Structure 1
Amino acid sequence: MSEKPNTVAIGAFVIGAALIAISAILFISGSGWGGDKNKVVMVFEGSVKGLTVGAPIALRGVQIGQVTNIHLIFDTDSIDITMTVEAEIDGNRFETRGKAAGYLGDEMIARGLRAQLNSQSMLTGLLYIQLDFHPNTPANIVDIDSPYSQIPTIPTDLQRITRELESMDFAAIAEDIQTIADSLAVFVSTKEFQQLPADLHNTLASFESLSDQLNVQMASSGPKLDKVLDETYNTMETLDSELPKISASALQTLKVLDAAMLAFEETIQEIDDLVSDDSATTYALNKALREISLAARELQLLAKTLEEHPEALIRGRSEEDE
């Protein structure tokens, strides 16, 4: 009698362990995307009004699952309310390829997979969950007690705009606007601003007068300018027609000058040869210069003698003079 309870207890323990093992295998096999059914959880900030159980879940517009449960978690310590949405992803709705085809959840989240509330219809106000990749957004994982994989969420465009508006200091903005308005009122009441229309009118009148003067001057200068332009055009045509002739004449003149320079260089060379120290011409010139110098000395002596003794022309030189 004492062995029967032990057998029943052992059998119950074995059956319980088997059920736990089967449940664990089913959970592990369904934790990644690509199987038949995969449970996920998402945490949204703010209101989820319009999101109902059975609402579709779409990946880039293609429905791949539906919402299965919506929970409210109230934190008594922080007095915060967390909205958790559980959903079921149908892995048969898409095909997986590659080496990591057996598990896709964490990989897709790491690559930027995010969940966002979108409107099904503006008329009904119903919402659905749109899954898409936003790699530049943070993967905010909320610490909740759930056995399912958590997909990070991002706020809707309306929620983002609302947050930006809430963060704005409208009181400071209103104060700045009031300060600007007061400054404008002071400026408008100044004498300078009151005088501005008259100054502007005078300026416009001056511009108008200047414009009239310019028109008169242009009217009087127009014929003269046309004449100058015509003469300039004629001069340009004359230059265009005569330029080849002038160029040819200048080229011929340059050739003549080149020949003259060559002849001049040859003459200089010949003169240089004549006046060189060892040339016959130089020797003859030196001899002639010496003879001329001697004759000049004799003439100088004769002139001196005649100056002292003019009678020498009649009676000749005396022995004393000699």
Structure 2
Amino acid sequence: MARRANPAMIGAFVLGAVVLGVAALAVFGGGKFFRHTVKLVAYFDGSLKGMAIGAPVTFNGVKIGSVTDFKVIIDTKNRISEHDITPTAIITTPVYFEIDAGRLYLSTGKKIKLRRDGSGLRKLYARGFRAQLELASLVTGQLEVALNFHADTPLRLTGLSKDVPEVPTIPSSIEKLSKSLEKLPIDEMVADVREALDAINRLANAPEVKAILRDVSRAVVNADTLIGNTDKLVRSVNAEVPALMAQVNKTSESAQTTLKELQAVVSRVGGGAESALAEYQQLAKNADTQLAPLIANVNKVALSADKTLVQAERALVSVESAINEDSPLRYDVVKALREVQSAARSLRILMDYLDQHPEAVVSGKRAEGMR
């Protein structure tokens, strides 16, 4: 007699198998069967080099899905015949991908409700929701589908997909750069660069440029020499000015002494004309005695002023001919030399007047009408 099977053991075995199957699906399926996924498609005009099935789909940098398929579609309206395609045929490359709608939330904390037919995406399209190809890795060159909001871009839909909701696309950064480079007149730019290089070469080898460089070198050497001479002149003038000032001070003190004596004589005029006349004559003799060395000093000062004036004029001519008119150094040096020249000329005029009118030290300079 055959042994009857235990129903409890059979039920436990079946239940264990079901639990193991569910666990395997959860572990190896990554929870795919429990996620709310939405299948979408995006039509790109650019190259899909680097695109692969399983490539990431990101939203603002966060992975929310992956690429499931992609194709290449040629627009049949531009065909000449069934077996010939014109060069202007339009090629589109649809990329199919799935996104996990459970990863999208509103600011209130609620999940964004997306239907599998994509009807809930229309509101997002109006706010600038777009798909764009981006590099996922610079090393491997792998592409990814990047979803984000671009409010200032036009809504571009092909209408070629009937079953899968279409996401509007925008050109990738690489595609924009490529189109910009294609618009550049490369041949004209290369020709312009060649012409510029030829012009620079001709200019560098021109005899006029070489002559100008030689003149500039000479001008620099002359300017250095002139600066040295100017420094020597300034030092010479600085050395002579103290002695000249000492002589002028000495002459002034002598004149003041004579003037005081004259004032004393005038104050005693009331005592008698004969006595005043005698004292005045004696004063004149004293003045003659004092004016002799004074005139000698005046002559020495005049000679020194002449030398200073000649040196200043020579330095001024050298500076004006050697240094550029716009140079700040020329302005400062010319200004200093003109001041030295003016001082020497004024001193020379004073010395000439004292040489012709030595009595001016005592009586002062007379008016033009009095002779």
1:105 partnered with 2:115:
no
* Residue 91 of structure 1, aligned match among 91, 101, 104: 101
Cα-Cα RMSD: 3.2
Following superposition, the deviation at residue 195 of structure 1 comes to 0.9
Please tell me whether Structure 1 or Structure 2 has the larger radius of gyration of its CA atoms. Answer: 1
- Alpha-carbon displacement from aligned partner over 1:119-173 (angstroms, at most 9, x marks no partner): 3334443322122233333333334233433323233333322222222111111
Q: Unmatched 5+ residue regions in structure 1? A: 1-34, 227-322
- Alpha-carbon displacement from aligned partner over 1:216-240 (angstroms, at most 9, x marks no partner): 35545678999xxxxxxxxxxxxxx
Q: TM-score, normalised by structure 2?
A: 0.45
Residue of structure 2 in register with 1:312 after alignment: none
Change (3 A) 1:190 1:121: closer
- 1:150 counterpart SS class: coil
Residue of structure 1 in register with 2:56 after alignment: 56
1:119 partnered with 2:135:
yes
Residue of structure 1 in register with 2:46 after alignment: 46
Residue of structure 2 in register with 1:162 after alignment: 178
Residue of structure 1 in register with 2:71 after alignment: 71
Residue of structure 2 in register with 1:81 after alignment: 91
2-structure distance, mates of 1:116, 1:218: 77
- Alpha-carbon displacement from aligned partner over 1:164-213 (angstroms, at most 9, x marks no partner): 22221111112212322333344344432131221111221132123324
Change (3 A) 1:43 1:213: farther
1:204 partnered with 2:228:
no
Do the aligned partners of 2:74 and 2:92 also contact (CA within 8 Å) in 1? yes
- 1:65 counterpart SS class: strand
Following superposition, the deviation at residue 85 of structure 1 comes to 0.9
Do the aligned partners of 2:102 and 2:112 also contact (CA within 8 Å) in 1? no
2-structure distance, mates of 1:36, 1:225: 103
Residue of structure 1 in register with 2:7 after alignment: none
2-structure distance, mates of 1:180, 1:205: 33
Percent pairwise identity:
29
Do the aligned partners of 2:40 and 2:98 also contact (CA within 8 Å) in 1? yes
2-structure distance, mates of 1:67, 1:224: 97
2-structure distance, mates of 1:126, 1:63: 15
1-structure distance, mates of 2:238, 2:182: 69
Change (3 A) 1:216 1:123: same
Residue of structure 2 in register with 1:285 after alignment: none
1:222-301 counterparts in 2 under 5 A?
none
Residue of structure 2 in register with 1:140 after alignment: 156
Q: How many residues align?
A: 192
- 2:178 counterpart SS class: helix
Q: Unmatched 5+ residue regions in structure 2? A: 1-34, 79-88, 115-119, 243-371
